[in-house]
Amino acid sequence: MRPPIDAGTILITGASSGIGRELARQLARRARTLVLVARREERLEAVRDELLQHNPTLGVMVERCDLAHVEEVDSLLDSLHRHLVRVDVLVNNAGLGDYSLYEQESWSRIHQMLQVNVTAPLLLIHRLMRRMVEHGRGGILNISSGVARTFVPGMSVYAATKYFLDGFTESLRLELHGTGVVVTQVAPGPVDTEFRDVAGSRERAGRPPKWMRISAAQCAREAIEGFERGAPLVYPGLAYRWMMRLSSLMPRGVLRASGLPAAKQLRYGTSLLEPAHPDTGRRVLLAGGPEGT
Ligand SMILES: NC(=O)c1ccc[n+]([C@@H]2O[C@H](COP(=O)([O-])OP(=O)(O)OC[C@H]3O[C@@H](n4cnc5c(N)ncnc54)[C@H](OP(=O)(O)O)[C@@H]3O)[C@@H](O)[C@H]2O)c1
């Protein structure tokens, strides 16, 4: 069973940059209509203009929407309804992370991550899936993350949102067995996009090794290939895929231990090998970090 990509109507959240923009570029060659969703409207319009240059017959709808606000998601759904747009494939790609000790994280940022990474995909699926089931065809592509399979100090909320999406997507997939609706989860490792700038982890956490990183174009290509195969879970990138397969065999205790150096580095600004202060026995806390309510 294949998702109705060809001549279908595909809604992509987070289409203004990174993986979402690449998914739009690659799906534009086959879809009839794309609905591009994000906050930066001018970016979406630039993507639309680029797509129309290559595919003049493609229908492209630009929908400015802040997915952190449920009422804006409702307005988006109303707009689709008003324009008689029937979504065949939903791509929940928009998402954001943050890199901080939990107690230093602002509540508004935590709330934003929960809304964009969890609530918005759930709401969109809830509103759009029923028609797919009734018609016996449809597709849901959820862009999760490899962090949903491990422990990541400094990204505890982000990781938790992706754990949620992981459990939800796998369970939903079982519920939809035999209905004609394809559900696939993509769990990328490091992809070269704006993600790390938004999360503030580019300077603070260092760069992941080159062998692990892939381009947004490769991520999008492998995501679509996996979706078309009806794969439950896609790890894009050969090296990352093997690393995730091996790490899935590791006991939980090993995963915990492997995260400890990064946790120490984040909290004390030092590695496990560095000695504590000779007088206090304590390590220096990182200064600063976001404040908030
Ligand atoms: N890059 C990686 O290393 C990596 C690894 C694993 C998983 N992922 C996942 O991949 C997905 C795409 O991320 P990316 O790497 O392509 O990052 P990106 O370049 O930062 O793109 C994120 C997209 O999400 C949109 N977005 C963020 N907040 C939004 C909001 N409140 N309302 C509407 N749209 C919003 C952004 O659009 P606007 O800013 O215009 O609203 C943008 O289009 C995310 O779910 C991320 O968790 C990324």
User: Which atom of ligand 1 sits closest to the CA of residue 94?
Assistant: 24
Output the CA 178–ligand 1 centroid distance in Å. Answer: 31
User: Which atom of ligand 1 sits closest to the CA of residue 69?
Assistant: 31
Residue 198, ligand 1, Cβ within 6 A: yes
Residue 186, ligand 1, Cβ within 6 A: no
Count other Cβ atoms within 10 Å, centred on residue 205.
18
Output the CA 188–ligand 1 centroid distance in Å. Answer: 12
The CATH number assigned to the domain holding 165 equals 3.40.50.720
Residue 192, ligand 1, Cβ within 6 A: no
Q: Which domain range does residue 40 map to?
A: 9-250
Tokens of 78: 């109303």
Position 93 in a domain: yes
Position 261 in a domain: no
Residue 79: pLDDT band (50, 70, 90) is: very high
Position 268 in a domain: no
What is the pLDDT of the chain when averaged over all its residues? Answer: 91
User: Which atom of ligand 1 sits closest to the CA of residue 22?
Assistant: 16
- How much is the pLDDT for 203? 62
152 three-class SS = coil
Position 202 in a domain: yes
What residues are labeled active site? 158
Residue 17, ligand 1, Cβ within 6 A: yes
Residues in a beta bridge with 214: 191
Position 214 in a domain: yes
Chain segment 9-67, per-residue pLDDT in tens: 999 999 999 999 999 999 999 999 999 999 999 999 999 999 999 999 999 999 999 99
The count of domains in the chain is 1
Residue nearest atom 20 in ligand 1 by C-alpha distance: 195
- How much is the pLDDT for 209? 87
Burial 214-225 (b: 16+ CB within 10 A, else e): bebbbbbbbbbe
The distance of Cα 279 from the centroid of its chain, to the nearest Å, equals 45
- How much is the pLDDT for 207? 76
- How much is the pLDDT for 270? 63
Position 291 in a domain: no
In this predicted structure, the answer to whether residue 90 has a pLDDT above a threshold of 90 is: yes
Strand residue runs (E) in 84-227: 89-92, 138-143, 181-186, 191-192, 214-215
Position 117 in a domain: yes
Which among 223, 212, 203, 170 is positioned nearest to 19, based on CA atoms?
Answer: 223
Chain segment 242-293, per-residue pLDDT in tens: 999 999 999 999 999 999 999 999 999 865 444 444 554 444 433 333 333 3
Position 288 in a domain: no
Chain segment 148-201, per-residue pLDDT in tens: 999 999 999 999 999 999 999 999 999 999 999 999 999 999 999 999 888 886
Residue 195, ligand 1, Cβ within 6 A: yes
* Mean local confidence (pLDDT), 222-239: 98
Sheet with 181-186: list strands edge to edge: 59-64, 33-38, 9-13, 89-92, 138-143, 181-186, 233-234
Output the CA 205–ligand 1 centroid distance in Å. Answer: 18
